Every structure is written in C-alpha cells, then in structure tokens.
C-alpha cells in the first residue's frame, strides 16, 4: 500500500442481490476488503440494499459490527417482501430484473452529486445476478466487479448452456428417466449427471434461468469476476474460467463470517446477533456437554425448505438413529412434532440426545469440537462453512445450485455422502433409510472405511481453505490483485 502521505482514497458501491445467501457473502467480502487498507479512511464502501433489507440488517448485529468504512444505504422497496417471495418466486425475480435498475441508477447519480467526502465512486461491486449494475457503471465510466456467490462449477455450467443445447441436454426434463446420463463436455467441470445439474435448467423455470444467463453473459462487460470459492477447492474449473473469460477471474473465498488476524493467523467467528452473549445460549452449553465429534448438526438454510411430510420423516429418522443432533427448525415448520430436551439441568443436558433451536450461529457451531457432521441443504455459503470447519457433510439438496454442490462434496471432494441416493428430487426418503444413513455417516469408531476417508478429506480441505485465506495464500493474493487492478491502489 502507499505511504500515508500519498493515500489514494477509494469509494466502492456494493450492490448485492436481495437475498440472505447473496447479501451475507458480499458483506463478508466487503469487511475483509476494509482490512486491506492501513488507514481508517483509505476506503469507503456504500452497501446498497432495499429499505426492507436495511431493517433486517439493523435488527441484527450487522450494523453495530460494521467497520467504520462501511455504510448502509437503501433504495425503495420496489420488489416483493423477502417474507413472501417464496410464494411467487418467478414474480419476485421479475420485479428484481425489471424494477431495481432505475432506483439504483438514481441512487448512483445522487451519490455522485451530493457526496460530501470529495471522493467520487471508484468502483462498483455487484452481484452477478444484477447485470443492470454492470451497464449502469459502464454508462458512467465506473469499473464494475461482478460478484458470483456460488461455485465456479455452477458458473461454468450456466456460461456454457449453449453446449448443453447443442448436445440435446437443454432444457432438461427433470422428470425424465435419463437423469443418470453423464455430461463430460462442460469446460473445467468433472463428469456430472444430468440429475446433478442446477434445476433452473429445467424448461419450467424460464424466469429464473433468464436472469441467471443475463447476469453470466454480462460478466464479459465487467472489469473482473470475483468468485467466492478458493482456487484449491475448484482448481480445474477456476483455471479454465481464467483462460476462457475475457476478464480477470479472482477466486477470493470463502466469503464467510470470520476475521483473520494477519499477525498470527488465528481466526475468530463474527457474532451475528446484537446484544447477545453467545456463551449464554443453551445450545452452546449443550454442545459443551457432548463428546468430541459426536453431534450431527442439521440445518436446511434460510430460504428453500423441505416439505412437511419429508420433515416428519427426517425428525423420526434422527430420533431412531440414536445419534446426538442439534437441529435448526425455523419458523413456519411444525415445531410440535419434536420436543427439545429440557436443558436447565446439567444431568439432563449431558444425557439429552437432541437440542432443537429456531436459529444458531452456524459457523460457531460447525467449529465446535463436539460437532462431527453437518447435514446440509448444500447452499454454497453453508458448503463453504462446512469446508472451513473441516466437518464431513451429509447432503440433502433442495434446489437452485444445491444438487451441483452436493455432487462436488460427494464425488469430487469425497468429504461427504448423500441422504438421497436415488435420482429424483421429489422422492420421499423414509425414516428407516434416514436412520441407517445417519448412523453410518456418524460412525466415529474408526471401523468404517468410508467414514475415515470422509474425515481425512474434510481435514485436508480445511487446511487448504485456511491456507488460501492466510497472508500469501491464493485468496489473499487475489484480493490484493483486485485492489491493485480494479481499485488502482499500488
């Protein structure tokens, strides 16, 4: 960086797609970006969300834990509420793609005209799914970085959808009996079943796919592509994208809620809720009472969820397995189907098989010594947190990019196994099969070769992840290169 007398102040506008799985990784990246500047005011980041999301972020600890260099700003609520978007996802996407562009451009112009800091907008970081920001920046001669909060493999699949069409594999009929067919021609992506391709490639999801393809195509007009993977996690596909894309590709992940001490390399977990003493949470006290690697952590994300019928089978299967588990059962699901243990008594706490909570600090849980497995929906952020924690994963994808992430976990990285082994996402997995799979997955006695292999792979991935983030690691180098080439700070 330059000396204090020659500091080049930079002003970055960050615009995430309006969804938890997109806002969180972009915010985590922005926080990490601020640590790269030695002076308090070297960089200023204006983080732009809708008015509704400002409220969500202010009700959590996000605002109170923001670095001084980051400020939250809003555009009007021109899209359906986050609380109901699942009822009409196509309508939600239509609003995002058609109604957010104008208010963002107005905001950008007002920011340029009324900013009292004397620092014009240096660059824009936008979610890849918001290509309108790429064009808004181009019209104003502001460099734009496209931010892809999914795997590099999924990006390559969407970028090469024309190859799928040429080979008669697009659109995909996920109800057909041909889903075991292998696709081996997508650049950088290891052979993959049709069943493991992202469901938006289905002919019935035109609105979702249209937005994805528009965003992926617009990357060619951006200044660079930021991907929340790290190079060692997906080496073949990241190197392939670096060769074929006309813009620099920077794997800068994982963009998860941690902070790295550059002095000693130790990591600390960022608190997610305001005014909460995490040591007082009963679920942490319960975890403290359990043996090492004995607990299965079960969480299915913040947006897509399983059916009530499937959840009933999951709850019964977990109970029947006899395995200790910590389950996140979010609002809207039937919490009366299972009774959480009374955790007020020390003896009962130690002996209770389960702990059920509506929310927990996921990365803190995954890094707890008692957690030996993670049953996940395979959202990319959760997948990265599992990799960072070095915990084997039991995969149960629901939609979007999750089937492809499950394939990466089980087939490519070999640090997990599937709950649903047969093709067909609508198949109901019964409680007996769940109980058997959970017991096999959580085998910690060393007499299961598959279990040993998973744990070895998980530990190796953990080490590669942390090396990538450490000073001089691949992600650290890529972030520095982004600062140099896009923000123009030497």
Per-run averaged pLDDT (10 residues), the chain, 490 residues? 56 95 96 82 90 87 74 94 82 90 94 72 96 95 97 98 93 82 96 93 77 94 98 98 98 82 37 40 91 95 74 94 92 42 48 87 94 96 96 93 97 95 69 94 73 93 96 97 90
Distance (Å, whole) CA 337 – CA 335 = 5
**CA-CA-CA-CA dihedral for 433, 436, 440, 441, to nearest 10:** 50
Write down the H helix ranges in 332-448.
346-351, 362-366, 380-389, 402-407, 431-441
Residues forming a β-bridge with 393: 374, 416
According to the model, what pLDDT value does residue 280 have?
A: 45
Count other Cβ atoms within 10 Å, centred on residue 294: 17
User: Do 391 and 293 contact (CB within 8 A), yes or no?
Assistant: no
Burial of 283 (0-12, 13-18, 19+ CB in 10 A): buried
Distance (Å, whole) CA 485 – CA 468 = 20
> Which residue, 20, 17, 73, is CA-closest to 44?
73
Q: Please give the DSSP secondary-structure letter assigned to residue 19.
A: S
Give every strand in the sheet of 224-227, ordered side by side: 70-75, 43-50, 10-15, 123-127, 144-148, 224-227, 249-251
Give every strand in the sheet of 393-395, ordered side by side: 354-357, 324-328, 295-299, 371-376, 393-395, 416-418
Count Cα atoms within 13 angstroms, Cβ side, for 211.
21
According to the model, what pLDDT value does residue 480 have?
A: 96
458-484 as b/e: b if 16+ CB within 10 A: beebbebbbbbbeeebbbbebbbebbe
Residues with Cβ < 8 Å from 421, sequence gap 6 or more? none
> pLDDT tens digit string along 419-442?
987 655 567 899 999 999 999 999
According to the model, what pLDDT value does residue 144 have?
A: 97
According to the model, what pLDDT value does residue 25 have?
A: 97
According to the model, what pLDDT value does residue 5 have?
A: 42
Burial of 211 (0-12, 13-18, 19+ CB in 10 A): buried
> Which residue, 21, 74, 71, is CA-closest to 50?
74
According to the model, what pLDDT value does residue 118 have?
A: 61
According to the model, what pLDDT value does residue 304 have?
A: 57
> pLDDT tens digit string along 110-162?
988 766 556 789 999 999 999 999 999 999 999 999 999 999 999 999 999 99
Phi, psi at 438, each rounded to 5°: -65, -45
Distance (Å, whole) CA 335 – CA 431 = 18
């Amino acid at each position: 960086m330059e000396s204090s007398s020659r500091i080049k102040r930079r002003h970055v506008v960050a615009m995430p797609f309006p969804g938890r799985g997109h806002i969180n990784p972009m915010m985590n990246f922005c926080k990490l970006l601020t640590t790269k500047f030695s002076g308090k005011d070297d960089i200023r980041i204006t983080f732009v969300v809708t008015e509704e999301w400002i409220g969500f972020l202010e009700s959590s600890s996000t605002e109170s834990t923001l670095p001084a260099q980051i400020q939250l700003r809003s555009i009007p609520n021109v899209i359906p509420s986050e609380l109901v978007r699942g009822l009409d996802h196509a309508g939600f996407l239509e609003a995002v793609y058609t109604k957010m562009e104008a208010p963002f451009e107005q905001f950008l112009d007002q920011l340029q005209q009324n900013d009292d800091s004397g620092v014009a907008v240096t660059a824009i970081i936008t979610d890849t799914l918001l290509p309108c920001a790429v064009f808004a920046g181009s019209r104003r001669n502001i460099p734009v970085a496209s931010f892809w909060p999914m795997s590099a493999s999924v990006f390559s699949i969407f970028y090469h959808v024309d190859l799928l069409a040429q080979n008669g594999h697009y659109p995909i009929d996920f109800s057909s009996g041909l889903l075991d067919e292998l696709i081996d021609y997508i650049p950088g992506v290891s052979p993959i079943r049709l069943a493991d391709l992202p469901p938006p490639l289905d002919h019935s999801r035109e609105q979702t796919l249209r937005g994805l393809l528009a965003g992926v195509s617009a990357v060619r007009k951006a200044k660079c592509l930021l991907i929340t993977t790290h190079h060692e996690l997906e080496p073949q596909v990241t190197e392939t994208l670096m060769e074929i894309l006309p813009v620099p590709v920077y794997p800068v992940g994982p963009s998860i809620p941690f902070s790295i001490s550059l002095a000693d390399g130790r990591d600390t977990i960022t608190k997610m809720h305001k005014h909460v003493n995490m040591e007082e949470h009963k679920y942490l006290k319960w975890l403290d009472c359990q043996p090492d690697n004995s607990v299965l952590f079960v969480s299915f994300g913040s947006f897509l969820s399983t059916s009530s019928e499937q959840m009933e089978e999951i709850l019964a299967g977990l109970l029947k397995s006899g395995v200790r588990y910590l389950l996140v059962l979010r609002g809207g699901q039937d919490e009366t189907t299972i009774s959480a243990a009374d955790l007020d008594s020390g003896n009962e706490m130690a002996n209770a098989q389960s702990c059920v909570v509506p929310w927990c600090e996921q990365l803190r849980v995954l890094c707890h010594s008692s957690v030996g497995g993670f049953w996940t929906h395979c959202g990319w952020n959760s997948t990265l947190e599992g990799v960072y924690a070095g915990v084997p994963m039991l995969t149960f994808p629901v939609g979007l990019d999750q089937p492809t992430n499950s394939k990466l976990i089980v087939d490519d990285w070999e640090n997990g196994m599937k709950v649903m082994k047969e093709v067909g996402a609508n198949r109901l997995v019964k409680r007996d099969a769940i109980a058997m799979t959970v017991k096999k997955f959580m085998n910690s006695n060393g007499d299961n070769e598959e279990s040993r292999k998973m744990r070895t792979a998980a530990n190796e991935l953990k080490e590669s992840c942390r090396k990538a983030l450490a000073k001089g690691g691949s992600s650290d180098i890529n972030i520095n290169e982004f600062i140099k080439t896009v923000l123009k700070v030497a």
